[in-house]
Amino acid sequence: MYKYDQIDQKIVNERVDQYQNQLNRYLNKELSDEEFRPLRLQNGLYIQRHAPMLRVAIPYGLLSSKQLNKLANISDKYDRGYGHFSTRQNIQFNWPKLEDTPDILRELAEVEMHAIQTSGNCIRNITTDQFAGVTDDEIIDPRHIAEIIRQWSTFHPEFALLPRKFKIAITGSTKDRALVQCHDIGLEFFTNTNNKMSIKVWVGGGLGRTPIIGSVIKNELEWEHILTYCEAILRVYNLYGRRDNMYKARIKILVKSLGIEAFKKLVEDEWKYIKNGPNTINAEELSRVKKYFSEPNYKKNIKNNLKDYDPNKAFSQWLSRATNSHKKTGYRAVTFSLKETGCAPGDASSTQMKAVSKLADEYSFGEIRVSHEQNLILADVQEDKLYELWIKAKEHHLVTPNIGLLTDIICCPGGDFCSLANAKSIPIAQSIQDLFDDMDYLHDIGDLNLNISGCMNACGHHHVGHIGILGVDKDGSEWYQVTLGGNQGNFASIGKVIGPSFSAEQMPSIVKKIIEVYLNNRQKEEIFIDCVSRIGLEPFKNYIYKDSEVSK
Amino acid sequence: MKSQLIKGKNIVKDDWVTSELAKVEEIVKMQAGKVVAFKLSGEDYPANEQVKESIFPDTGKVLLPLKVFIHHQEKLKERLANGEIGIWFSTHEEIHKFIEAIGDLNNFPLIAIHVEKFADGRIFSIGSQLRNKYNFKNELRAFGDVLRDQIFFLKRSGFNSYLIRKDRDATDAIKGLDDFSDPYQGASDILEPVWKRNKR
Ligand code: HEM
Ligand code: SF4
C-alpha cells in the first residue's frame, strides 16, 4: 500500500498543528461557534448527541495492520473501546473529548493517518472497490489513480468551501462494487481501443433526500487528464452550485436543473484552458505511485485441501459466503462480518481490531480493507490456511457466514448517536437479525441487501438496498418506511416505497412477509432483486397490507 | 478598529478608497439573509438605479464597483490610464458577462472580490479564473468576511492582498499564510504539483 514520504508526512503534521491552533483559538473564544464549525468539520469532528464524533479517513478503504492496531489503541485510550466502520470506508469514534482531539490526530499521524476532509463541504475520502488489486474481474487497479486523486484533493485551495460535500468513487472492475453511479463524481476505468487506460466519468449521482443516479458526462477520458477534468467539474459546481438552501446544494441538483448537456458545456469550457496544464498526470508520477501497490510475494502451487472440510457445515457456509475468488490461484479474499447478531452493524471492539490486525500479519501480508458494506477484509489469504484462519477468527466473532445475505445489514448510527435522526436504526437491524438467525434459512433466501437509514440523509444507503428501511418522524414518534427494488452496482436503481410506514415492533415481521412473498414467487435460482424486478411491487403490497394492521 | 490590509506577507497601509454601492431597498433584502445570494441567471445585480446613484471621489485611487465603473467608463478613461481606478465585485457576480465591456483587465492595478460569508468558497474559483483564464497579473484582493483560516487558500487561489475583517488582528491572520509549506496540487500561486517540483 501507499507509504508516506517526507512530503506527505509534513502535510499531515502541519495539519495537526493548524488544527491544534484552531481549537485553542476556539477554546479561548477567539473563534465563534459559527466560525469554528467549518474548521472542525473539515477535520471530521461533529458535535453529536453524546459527545463529539471524530471520523478518521481510511483512504479507499485500505489499512495496514499497524494502522488498525493504532485505531484499536486510540479507541481504548480516548474512547470506549470500539469504533464504527462506515459505509464510506472510514472509521468513527463516538465518544472522544474535544480537548483530546489534537492528541488523537497526533497519534494518527504517527501511523500515516488523519481526519482531513472526512466531513465538511469539501472533497471527501475517495472510495473504491474493497477487492481492488485482487479480484479476478479487474480491468485496472483503481488504487493508483485513487491515491493520486487523494493527494490532489487534499487541501485543494479552490475547493475547500464548496456548496456542499463532494464524494468521488472509483471502480476498475467489470462488476462495480464502489457505487460509482451514486456519487458526485464516479470514475469507471476501462481500456480503450488503443489499449490505453481510460475513464468513463459519471457526475451528479447521490443519495440523501433527493436520490439520483448519475449521468455520464464523458464516455472516454484518457487517464492523464483526470485531475484537470475533475478540476473543471468542481469549478463549475463551486461557482454555480446552490448556496441558499443546503438541501439543494449538492452537484446532483445543479446537473439536474441545468441538464447534463448544458452542464457538460460549462465543464468543457473550463477544461479547455487547463487541459494539458501543470496538473496533467505524467507517466513518472503514475509509476511512482504504482510501485507501492505492486503484488506481494504470492506463493505458487498452494494445495487446495478445501474439499476435506466439506462435512464441516459451518465452515462450508462461511467458505461459500465470506470468501471471494482471487486473481491468483490458491488465494482468496476473506470478508470478516461485523454483522453478528446483537452487535451494531459496522462496530468493531478494540479486541476485534487487534485480532484482525494480528491475523492480517499472519495470513494476509499485513493489510486490511474496509468495505462500504461495513465489513473488514483480508484480501490475500492462502486457501490451505483458510480453515486455520476461520478457527482463530471465530474466537473473535468475525465469521458469521452472512456476507451478502439479509442480515449483512448496512446501517447508519441513527437515533442512538446521531442528532439528525428521525428514528433509531441499530435496534431495527438487531431485531431483524434476531428474527433471521437461522443460517440455513438465510442461505436459502440467498443474496439480499437490506439497508437502514435513520433519516432521509441516507447514510445507510437505504435507497439502493434491495430492501430499504428509512426512519421517519410522524407526530413525534418513530416510524419506518419500506422501499423495494433498490440496487447498487452496474444496474443501480432507487427503491420504490411500498406504502404507509410501520412501527419499530412491526418491522421484523414486515421483513418476514416480504421474504415469504419472494420465496413463494421465486423461480429456480432467482435471487431476491431479480424476483422483485420481475413480479413488481404489487404482490408484496397486497400481502403486507392485506389485513391492514396499524400503519402510518 | 479599522480593517487592516495584508499585502504579500506584510501589513501595509491601504492607499485605495473603496467605493460602496448606493444603498437601496433590494440590497438590504439580499444581504439580510444568513446565506449568500445564489445567482445563476435572473435579474441584474446591482440594480440599474443603484449603479446610477453610486457616488465616488473625483480624485485619487478609488476602487469602484464593477458595474459603476462600466457605467462611467467613458469619463474615467484618463484616471484609468493614470492607474487610479480599480474594480471590485461580489462572489455572485459573473465576471465573464462583463469581460468584453471592461476590456483588458490588466489596465486595473487592483481587482478586489467581496466575500460576504466565510463559508462562501466561490471566491477561490473566481481568483483562479482571474489568474488563469483571464490572465490578470496585478493586485488581487479579498475583502469582507476574510479571516486567518481562509487566507492560505486565498493565496493559493491567486490572491495577494487581504483586507482582514475589522474586528480581527492582521498580525494573527498573517500567520495563516504559512499553514502548509509544500502543498500537493498545482494551483494559482505554485503552478506545478508537488511531484513536478520535487524528486519524490
Ligand atoms: C452520526 C453522524 C452523522 C451525521 C451528522 C451525518 C450527516 C449526514 C448528512 C447531513 C447527509 C446528507 C448529505 C446530503 O444529502 O447532502 C449524509 C449523507 C451520507 N452519510 Fe452521513 N452522517 C453521519 C454518519 C454517517 C455514517 C456513520 C456513515 C456511514 C455508515 C455515513 C455515510 C453517509 C453516506 C454514504 C451518505 C450518502 C448520501 C450521499 O452522499 O449522497 N454518515 N450524512
Ligand atoms: S441517515 Fe440520518 S440518522 Fe442516520 S447517520 Fe445519517 S444523518 Fe444520522
State the count of interchain CB pairs (< 8 A) between A and B. Answer: 123
Whether residues A102 and A189 share a domain: the answer is: no
pLDDT per residue as tens digits for the range A215-254: 999 999 999 999 999 999 999 999 999 998 888 999 999 9
Residue B184 domain flag = yes
Residue B50 domain flag = no
Asked if the Cβ–Cβ distance from A158 to B125 is below 8 Å, we say yes
Percent of chain B with pLDDT over 70: 89
Whether residues A534 and A425 share a domain: the answer is: yes
C-alpha A415 – ligand 1 centre gap (Å): 13
A157 touches chain B (CB under 8 A): yes
Neighbours of B55 (CB within 10 A): 10
Three-state SS at A368: strand
Residue B46 domain flag = no
- A454 pocket-lining for ligand 2 (C-beta < 6 Å): yes
Whether residues A258 and A313 share a domain: the answer is: no
Q: Is A210 exposed, middle or buried (0-12, 13-18, 19+ CB in 10 A)?
A: middle
Q: What is the DSSP string of chain B?
A: -PPPEEETTEEE----EEPPPPP-HHHHHHHHSSSPP--SSSS-SS-HHHHHH----SSS-EEEEHHHHHHTTGGGHHHHHTT-EEEEEETTS-GGGTHHHH--GGG-SEEEEEESSTT-THHHHHHHHHHHTS---SEEEEEES--HHHHHHHHHTT--EEE--TTS-HHHHGGGGGS-SS-SS--SSS-S-HHHHS--
Percent of chain A with pLDDT over 90: 82
Q: How many folded domains does chain B comprise?
A: 1
Contact status, residue A54 vs residue A99, Cβ threshold 8 Å:
no
pLDDT per residue as tens digits for the range A485-544: 999 888 889 999 999 999 999 999 999 999 999 999 999 889 999 999 999 999 999 999
Instruction: Quote the pLDDT of residue B27.
Output: 43
Contact status, residue B141 vs residue B162, Cβ threshold 8 Å:
yes
Whether residues A469 and A372 share a domain: the answer is: no
- Strands A197-203 vs A331-336: parallel, antiparallel or unpaired: unpaired
3-state percent breakdown (helix, strand, coil) of chain A, nearest 5 = 40, 20, 40
Residue A33 domain flag = yes
Q: Which residues lie with the beta carbon below 6 Å from any ligand 1 atom?
A: A 46, 48, 53, 84, 86-88, 92, 164, 167, 206-209, 250, 412-413, 417-418, 420, 457-459, 461
- Strands A367-370 vs A376-382: parallel, antiparallel or unpaired: antiparallel
Closest alpha carbon to B96 in A160, A251, A276, A235: A235
Q: How many Å apart are CA A41 and CA A37, to the nearest integer? A: 6
Q: Is B181 exposed, middle or buried (0-12, 13-18, 19+ CB in 10 A)?
A: exposed
Whether residues A436 and A368 share a domain: the answer is: no
CATH number of the domain encompassing residue B139: 3.20.20
| Average pLDDT of the residues in A472-480 | 91
Q: Which of A240, A270, A279 sits opposite B40 (nearest CB)?
A: A240
A227 touches chain B (CB under 8 A): yes
Whether residues A232 and A375 share a domain: the answer is: no
Residue B36 domain flag = no
Q: How many Å apart are CA B137 and CA B141, to the nearest integer? A: 12
Instruction: Quote the pLDDT of residue B49.
Output: 81
Instruction: Quote the pLDDT of residue A46.
Output: 83
Q: Which of A14, A159, A239 sits opposite B180 (nearest CB)?
A: A14
Per-residue cell: A3:
507509504
| Average pLDDT of the residues in B90-102 | 88
pLDDT per residue as tens digits for the range A271-281: 999 999 999 99
Instruction: Quote the pLDDT of residue A551.
Output: 54
Question: Which value does ipTM take for this structure?
Answer: 0.92
Whether residues A273 and A379 share a domain: the answer is: no
Taking CA atoms only, the protein residue closest to ligand 1 atom 34 is A459
C-alpha A98 – ligand 2 centre gap (Å): 21
Mutate-to-test residue for ligand 1 from A373, A419, A451, A459, highest number of ligand atoms within 8 A of CB: A459
Taking CA atoms only, the protein residue closest to ligand 2 atom 2 is A455
pLDDT per residue as tens digits for the range A67-100: 999 999 999 999 999 999 988 889 999 889 999 9
Q: Which positions ≥6 away from A103 have C-beta within 8 Å?
A: A78
Whether residues A326 and A384 share a domain: the answer is: yes
Asked if the Cβ–Cβ distance from B184 to A155 is below 8 Å, we say yes
Per-residue cell: B110:
487592483
Q: How many Å apart are CA A303 and CA A383, to the nearest integer? A: 8
CA distance B118 to chain A (A): 8
Q: How many Å apart are CA A266 and CA A204, to the nearest integer? A: 14
- Strands A52-56 vs A62-64: parallel, antiparallel or unpaired: unpaired
Residue A526 domain flag = yes
Residue A376 domain flag = yes
Residue A36 domain flag = yes
Which position has the higher pLDDT, A288 or A488?
A288
CATH number of the domain encompassing residue A230: 3.30.413.10
A238 touches chain B (CB under 8 A): yes
Q: What torsion do the CA atoms of B96, B100, B101, B106 make, to the nearest 10 degrees?
A: 90
| Number of Cα atoms under 13 Å in the Cβ half of residue A480 | 28
pLDDT per residue as tens digits for the range B1-53: 789 999 999 999 999 999 988 876 554 334 333 333 344 434 567 778 888 88
Average pLDDT of chain A is: 93
Amino acid letter, A318 = W
Q: Which positions ≥6 away from B157 have C-beta within 8 Å?
A: A157, A158, B123, B124, B125, B127, B128, B131, B187, B188, B189
| Average pLDDT of the residues in A340-351 | 90
C-alpha A56 – ligand 1 centre gap (Å): 14
Mutate-to-test residue for ligand 2 from A459, A461, A464, highest number of ligand atoms within 8 A of CB: A459
Q: How many Å apart are CA A426 and CA A413, to the nearest integer? A: 7
CA distance B92 to chain A (A): 8
Residues in chain A: 552
Chain B positions in Cβ-Cβ contact with residue A39 (cut-off 8 Å):
149
Residue A128 domain flag = no
Residue B102 domain flag = yes
C-alpha A87 – ligand 1 centre gap (Å): 9
Range of the domain at B101: 5-19+56-197
Q: How many Å apart are CA A398 and CA A425, to the nearest integer? A: 22
Q: What is the CA radius of gyration of chain A?
A: 23
Mutate to test the interface with B, among A161, A276, A280 (most CBs of B within 10 A): A161
Q: Hey, which bits of A178-245 come out as E strands?
A: 185-191, 197-203, 215-222
| Average pLDDT of the residues in A41-49 | 80
Chain B positions in Cβ-Cβ contact with residue A154 (cut-off 8 Å):
184-185
A155 touches chain B (CB under 8 A): yes
Contact status, residue B108 vs residue B85, Cβ threshold 8 Å:
yes
pLDDT per residue as tens digits for the range A360-388: 999 999 999 999 889 999 999 999 999 99
Q: Is the pLDDT of residue B75 over 80?
A: yes
Range of the domain at A531: 410-550
Instruction: Quote the pLDDT of residue B103.
Output: 87
Q: How many folded domains does chain A comprise?
A: 4
Percent of chain A with pLDDT over 70: 98
Q: What torsion do the CA atoms of A412, A210, A154, B125 make, to the nearest 10 degrees?
A: -160
**A34-38, B44-48, B116-120: least confidently modelled range:** B44-48
Whether residues A361 and A474 share a domain: the answer is: no
pLDDT band at residue A263 under the 50/70/90 scheme = very high
Three-state SS at A487: strand
Residue B28 domain flag = no
Q: Residue A334 to residues A191, A303, A315, A362, A404: CA-CA distances in angstroms?
A: 28, 18, 13, 13, 13
Q: How many Å apart are CA A338 and CA A353, to the nearest integer? A: 11
Which position has the higher pLDDT, B48 or A16?
A16
Residue A180 domain flag = yes
Chain B positions in Cβ-Cβ contact with residue A11 (cut-off 8 Å):
180, 182-184
Whether residues A168 and A273 share a domain: the answer is: yes
CATH number of the domain encompassing residue A360: 3.90.480.20
Chain B positions in Cβ-Cβ contact with residue A22 (cut-off 8 Å):
149
Closest alpha carbon to A359 in A380, A328, A329: A380
Asked if the Cβ–Cβ distance from B153 to A274 is below 8 Å, we say no
Whether residues A438 and A377 share a domain: the answer is: no
Instruction: Quote the pLDDT of residue A491.
Output: 84
Residue B33 domain flag = no
Residue A41 domain flag = yes
Of A256, A289, A322, which marks where a domain is finished?
A: A289
| pTM score, whole prediction | 0.90
Q: Is the pLDDT of residue B173 over 50?
A: yes
A51-A52-A53 Cα angle (round to 5): 115
A407 touches chain B (CB under 8 A): no
Whether residues A344 and A451 share a domain: the answer is: no
pLDDT per residue as tens digits for the range A102-126: 999 999 999 999 999 999 999 999 9
Contact status, residue A69 vs residue A136, Cβ threshold 8 Å:
no
Q: Which positions ≥6 away from A123 have C-beta within 8 Å?
A: A117, A153, A156, A159, A162, A166, A167, A168, A234
